[in-house]
Structure 1
């Protein structure tokens, strides 16, 4: 390999593997196979002309030369990451990550923000990981216990909702005749709501979804009745797409919270986005 072709991807693989000293965990973080990690490290070893790791029964060990090289590569790679992140923050694009379950609440707010402030561009990335952190994003909405330093947007409160075209039940017992739409592969959200009312129901017909937004969409189409967060479905209820037949909602103890990048590292207009989303 030409000495001028510095293998940056291989350096990244080396840094991740050196942190874990385990090919399986390194491959998981890099989202590639163990074989691919090994090939990247071999590429870097070939470029350098010496081995970086030795294999042992309990995992990997850095060689003496690999251990000596590691701190300088860590420092150099961090400088590259910081430089590229700084260049990325130089424009008005705000990188926002949010769980798909928040889309019914989030998208109308982003549309309204764009209408009022066309100079603010939000690059939205959705995820199924409710508890993920900022990673390489400028802001992130997370679900669950509120992380330290985050802004609590709203607490989760569950209530049944269904399409407005369907005749609603007047008593809890009448729910048994509907198809139950579950926002998760198990039935925990429905069970939380029923437990809050000290009630139990037979559930003869059930459909399970991976996320709450999918269950809400199915309810809007008249597929059945789901239990959903009252804040997430607020716009759908106001616009007549859904009805909430019961006034009772049950707090789950979880929250939707907003994490943001530190002010010194923040892109332009991030404070405006945070203020906008905080006005629930």
Structure 2
């Protein structure tokens, strides 16, 4: 079986850093933070098993492996840019494109759409699924809702509040978190272990998933208690699909971030709804 290619974003960050011999200059060019570029390059080095840069106080130098790799990355990237010339057209004025995760589309945007479309009956809405930072580079969207730390999501994205983690369960399930099965969204820095340190001891999670949206869905169906982003859970709480399993909340290192790349008034209106609709539920 052929070995899979590294993410395009890693290669773009390496190529830009190699041209500038600077993570900071590469970040400015790519619209990312310096730490995001550095992290992507480090991930590429780990994937390849060789260092690509010598990191010095005055800047970067390419290693022998980096010098060998650079032309092999630059040529296909340039070919891709050339192929896109003339293909990048303006979005229709009556189309609003939203790029986000399936979790946000399911739990936040879909409940808002009926009222929003009543106000704009002639507006077409397109939802694009996006998870990784590279997905947003390849999608042309009026509104982007990204998930991650402030360093991961880019310099033009603002955190959506409330961004704390809350414990939720189905109203049909009786008990406190330490008495019930726990649902863990893996891949985040804060979870039930953080809850145990800050609030109260709890057993190890017995259900694991890779998104807050799926954790929330599992909790709503009575599978246990999920620790999820408060903003994401707003609609489910208001509709009684879930309820708080504990009044406490804990900080989260990752959150949802909003980025608007459009001057369409409908984009600004929807963003205002997204920010204000799911107000905090924890005092």
Partner of 1:116: 119
- TM-score normalised according to structure 2 size: 0.62
1:16-165 to structure 2, matched below 5 A, reads 58-59=68-69, 61=71, 77=83, 79-81=85-87, 84-86=88-90, 89-102=91-104, 103-129=106-132, 133=136, 135=138, 136-146=140-150, 147-165=154-172
- Structure 1 residue ranges without an equivalent (≥5): 1-15, 21-56, 170-174
Question: Contact 1:162–1:225 at 8 Å: present in 2 too?
Answer: yes
- TM-score normalised according to structure 1 size: 0.62
**Secondary structure of the corresponding residue to residue 274 of structure 1:** helix
Partner of 2:267: 270
Query: Distance between the aligned counterparts of 2:260 and 2:224, measured in 1?
Result: 37
Question: Contact 1:101–1:212 at 8 Å: present in 2 too?
Answer: yes
Shift of 1:155: 4.0
Partner of 2:261: 261
Shift of 1:163: 0.7
Residue deviations 1:64-105, cap 9 Å, x none? xx99xx98x788655403xx422xx13411211112332312
Partner of 1:35: none
Instruction: Please report the RMSD computed on the Cα atoms of aligned residues, expressed in angstroms.
Output: 3.6
**Secondary structure of the corresponding residue to residue 249 of structure 1:** strand
1:231-250 to structure 2, matched below 5 A, reads 231-250=231-250
Shift of 1:123: 0.4
Question: Contact 2:99–2:136 at 8 Å: present in 1 too?
Answer: no
Shift of 1:214: 0.9
- Structure 2 residue ranges without an equivalent (≥5): 1-10, 16-66, 278-283
Greater alpha carbon shift after TM alignment, 90-99 vs 268-277:
268-277
Query: Distance between the aligned counterparts of 1:177 and 1:93, measured in 2?
Result: 48
Query: Distance between the aligned counterparts of 1:113 and 1:229, measured in 2?
Result: 24
Closer, same or farther in 2 for the Cα pair 1:230/1:126, shift >3 Å?
Answer: same
Closer, same or farther in 2 for the Cα pair 1:130/1:178, shift >3 Å?
Answer: farther
1:173-252 to structure 2, matched below 5 A, reads 175-184=177-186, 188-197=190-199, 199-203=200-204, 206-252=206-252
Question: Contact 1:131–1:144 at 8 Å: present in 2 too?
Answer: no
Residue deviations 1:113-169, cap 9 Å, x none? 123322222201123326854532222101223432334322421121111011132
| Structure of higher CA gyration radius | 1
Number of residue pairs aligned between Structure 1 and Structure 2 = 211
Question: Contact 1:100–1:126 at 8 Å: present in 2 too?
Answer: yes
